[in-house]
Structure 1
Amino acid sequence: MRTKLLLITVLVIFGIRANAQPSGTPSGKPYAYIIKGGHVIDPKNNINEIMDIAFTAGRRGMVARPAMAARPAANGRPARPAVPASEGKIALIAKNINPDLADKIIDAKGLYVTPGLIDIHVHFFWGHDGSYLKNAPTALPADGFTFRTGVTTVVDAGCTGWRDFELYKKRTIDASQTRVLAMLNIVGTGMDGAGENNIDEMDPQKTAEMAKKYPNDIVGVKLAHFSGRTWVPTDRTLEAGRLANIPIMVDFGSANPFLPLDSLFNVKFRKGDIYTHAFGGNGTNDPNGRESIVDLNGKVKPFVHKAREKGVIFDVGFGGASYLYNQGVPAVKAGFYPNTISTDLHTGSMNGPMKSMENIMGLFMATGMPLKEVIAASTWHPAQAIKREELGNLSQGSVADIAIFRINKGDYGWPVRGGKFPGKERFQTEMTIRAGNVVYDLDGLSQPAGPSPAGR
């Protein structure tokens, strides 16, 4: 009996230690996976060629799951050593890595391999207790709408203010495999559809205090949808950003006449502040509403170029109606590319022209933005914009967040506000890897052909 109990104890401890291995390779091989033969595009490291990528696997289960503390033996139950949380890492990028060094091989020939995409404008405060995009069904649960489009990191753009951020952290950030970060709304009550014009709820001090309390989760301050001709909301948002030393993101509502973008960009903004819905506005010469960055002759306004030289970040934030044909198409054709491509993802945008991150990437490529620049605007540039430069790249030692795409050829169309643009190439996500674990696999690239052993 003692021998049997000892054997069980050894097996349990061995199993736990195997699961705790940072490499996630029960065979003892150095790599969990090698992605072979894919066209790797890693803008940070200036890689744009066919290469192999080897990476280790993290501890299985939800990425946000905490480490497991050691447990002493008790009541006949054996002791358990501490099990640390772990993330799979990029181990090697090279040509022709020996396939015998990994547990599994992912054949990516004919496919494109990039860092996991970073979408810095989403609305993921999903729930039923609130309204509009705060704790409401108009927002979305993260994991159901990220991995299937190659996205591994998102930034919630202002759903929550300082009053309810901790509820959001519990319900969304800590409960998601997707890495969810947040722009904290300057309005304390967040994006409930009723209080966004309430200047009394715009508290820079309390917003900054919450941002400093959760620096791993909060990456900026958001001003959204305010309608009225005053700079007070912008100034309070900027003050919160200064106090917390983080960028701000501005989504103007409307004003009569509009607040001039030249003043926002070149007087108010600091280097690194973000203007979202960059290709939106009223798209006309109407002095009311929201100004656009391209004039009616299809020219990007001179003060916009000045702002880019200053370091202002121009973000897509496509949304339901925040991309105009007469803004996005001429701007890209003139070489004015967005710094960051983002979706403004919620139930009101996902079934319209926006659809998904990969769809927007296809639109920008169709209108003339080179593939390498599209990938940069979806990976490395957003990582820089939110000051998380450990993300959005495939450097050795970086977390293994990876997307694998197929670019399909055909006759495609992108209907947008004010027109429709044709194109010949469309992105299709084949696989998404988050922290070294395969979380989406469209065609089973990570699985061998045929039935599993014992029919499993």
Structure 2
Amino acid sequence: MDLILKGGRVIDPSQGLDAVADVGFAGGKVAAVAPKLEHPGAAVRNVSGLIVSPGLIDLHTHVYWGGTSLGIDAEQYCRTSGVTTSVDTGSAGPGNFAGFRKHVIEPSPVRILAYLHVSHAGIYGFSETVMVGESETLRLIDPRAALRVADENRDVVIGIKVRVGRHASGDQGVAPLDIALQVGEEAGLPVMAHIDEPPPTYEEVIARLRPGDVLTHAFRPFPNSPATAQGTVKAAVLAARKRGVLFDIGHGMGSFAFKTARAMLANGFAPDTISSDVHALCINGPAFDQVTTMSKFLCLGMSLSDVIRASTVNAAFALKRPELGSLKPGSVGDATVLAVEDGAFDYVDVVGEHLEGRQRIASRGVVIAGKWWHPA
């Protein structure tokens, strides 16, 4: 073995595991999880009193740093947020994906996977001074090139991204989504759909999504909330989940409200995946990072195991990458070391509501490809 994490509380929902154990890594993979592991020559790190989970997957990030104005540095982000797999959701489209791959994805020490945008240049006009929705004009939607680029990059492209809503697609309604779904169908890939304010409506969007497709910004505030004014879950939302549509948080700067989350959780409708939608305009608040987004759900009443599940094995399921999000022997050798701190912590959502939480999930380091990779 190359590395042993000793004495942590191992929480791995993929195995139904919650117990104090050692986790060993060899050859870049998980080698063993057992009450006690010894191996001469292995690096040993004592993590007693801390939590060891599978490497966290942030299913919604923007890490085309330098290539788009909303991009952040994946390595710097992952060092502090406990993330070992950063999924970029549409920062690049077929017109600029080659640069994203060569200059960001390939040199990155952390894993970056991508939903390829169906719009030619991805999310190109997103900053504090310029805000142009890349789906506002169908001239920018590039299905043929998107299909070709997705096919040529199947090792890192795991789906197709599209953004619809008043800010992203103007008055185009569901037209960009319908084109993205055609690309996904032809490529055999899932689609992740962004939704903001109407048009189109929440119901129009999820009616089109297929099993395995992801609706991100799923716990939005009004308008286009999944909850009714009476605090129930809309019937169309329940029907979409029943047929296999996945609901992702994608917190970001405008897409997560405590009011919505409380209503959804009160009705037993937890998110499939918890993600930050971290980008240049929300990394300093209100989203901050993955562990802060997870902490909000812990303080809203989700169990720690379910919060970790929504950031590991559930995300791996959405990615169709079963080797991720698990500490089963033979899985990718990624792990996150977490602490749950008690105290009084101020959390804020995108509409300015504050929540005083009694707990906070904090990253204490990560293992990537079987090697300790501590925050700088």
Please state which band the TM-score falls in when normalised by the shorter chain: over 0.9
Q: How does 1:385-424 map to 2 (within 5 A)?
A: 385-416=318-349, 417-424=351-358
Amino acid at match of 1:241: G
The reply on whether 1:92 has 2:92 as its aligned counterpart is no
Q: Partner letter of residue 380 of structure 1?
A: V
In 2, Cα distance between equivalents of 1:279 and 1:228: 23
Does structure 1 retain, via aligned residues, the 8 Å contact 2:83–2:336? yes
CA distance in 2, matches of 1:382, 1:144: 21
Q: Could you tell me how far 1:395 is from its partner in structure 2?
A: 1.1
Cα 1:102–1:422 shift into 2, 3 Å: farther
Structure 2: 5+ residue stretches without partners = 126-131
Structure 1 unaligned runs (5+)?
A: 1-30, 58-87, 128-134, 284-289, 443-456
Answer 1 or 2: which has greater strand percent: 2
The root-mean-square deviation of aligned C-alpha atoms, in Å, is: 1.5
In the alignment, which residue of structure 2 is the partner of 1:309? Answer: 242
Structure 2 counterparts to residues 27-106 of structure 1, below 5 A: 31-56=1-26, 88-98=28-38, 100-106=39-45
Please give the per-residue CA displacement for 1:416-443, whole angstroms capped at 9, x wherever unaligned. 225222221111111111101211157x
Tell me the equivalent position of 2:270: 337
Q: Who wins on radius of gyration, i.e. which is larger?
A: 1
2:69–2:124 contact (8 Å) kept in structure 1: no
Residues 68 and 123, structure 2, Cα contact 8 Å, conserved in 1: no
**Structure 2 Cα separation of the partners of residues 392 and 226 of structure 1:** 33
Aligned partner letter, 1:297? Q
Equivalent pair of 1:187/1:198 in contact (CA under 8 Å): no
Match of 2:129 in 1: none
CA drift of 1:329 comes to 2.0
Structure 1 residue 137, shift from structure 2 partner: 4.3
Determine the structure 1 residue equivalent to 2:204: 263
Structure 2 CA distance, aligned partners of 1:276 and 1:227? 18
Matches of 1:145 and 1:221, distance apart in 2: 24
Which of 138, 147, 163 aligns to 2:79? It is 147
Residue 326 to residue 291, structure 1, CA distance change in 2 (3 Å): same
Deviation at 1:333, TM superposition (A): 2.9
CA distance in structure 1 between the aligned counterparts of 2:294 and 2:89, rounded to whole angstroms: 19
1:265 Cα deviation (Å)? 1.8
Determine if the alignment matches structure 1 residue 157 to structure 2 residue 89: yes
- Superposed displacement of residue 238, structure 1: 0.0
Q: Percent same amino acid at aligned positions?
A: 32
Say yes or no: does 1:208 pair with 2:150.
no
| 1:203 Cα deviation after fit | 2.4
Q: Which residue, out of 348, 367, 373, partners 1:433?
A: 367
Deviates more, 1:229-238 or 1:271-280: 229-238
SS across alignment from 1:305: helix
- Runs of 4+ in structure 1 off by over 6 angstroms are none
Q: Which amino acid aligns with 1:397?
A: G
Map residues 244-323 of structure 1 onto 2, 5 A cutoff: 244-255=187-198, 258-266=199-207, 268-281=208-221, 283=222, 290-323=223-256
Note if contact 1:126-1:138 (Cα within 8 Å) is conserved in structure 2: yes
Q: Which of 112, 116, 124 is equivalent to 2:55?
A: 116
Bigger relative contact order, structure 1 or 2, given CA contacts below 8 A and separation 6+?
2
Where does residue 19 of structure 1 map in the other structure?
none
Shift of 1:180: 0.6
Corresponding letter in the other structure for 1:125:
Y
Q: How many residues align?
A: 364
**Given that residues 341 and 361 in structure 1 are in contact (C-alpha distance below 8 angstroms), is that contact kept between their aligned partners in structure 2?**
yes
Deviation, 1:229, is 4.6
Letter paired with 2:180: T
Q: Pick one of 171, 174, 180 that aligns with 1:228.
A: 171
Q: Residue 149 of structure 2 aligns to which amino acid in structure 1?
A: M
Secondary structure, counterpart of 2:90 in structure 1: strand
Give the superposition deviation at 1:96.
1.5
Query: Residue 168 of structure 1: CA displacement?
Result: 0.7
Shift of residue 208 of structure 1? 1.2
Confirm or deny: 8 A CA contact 1:333 1:367 kept in the other structure: no
User: What residue number does 1:3 align with?
Assistant: none
1:198 equivalenced with 2:134 (yes/no): no
**Equivalent residue letter for 1:170:** K
CA distance in structure 1 between the partners assigned to 2:265 and 2:196 by the alignment: 24
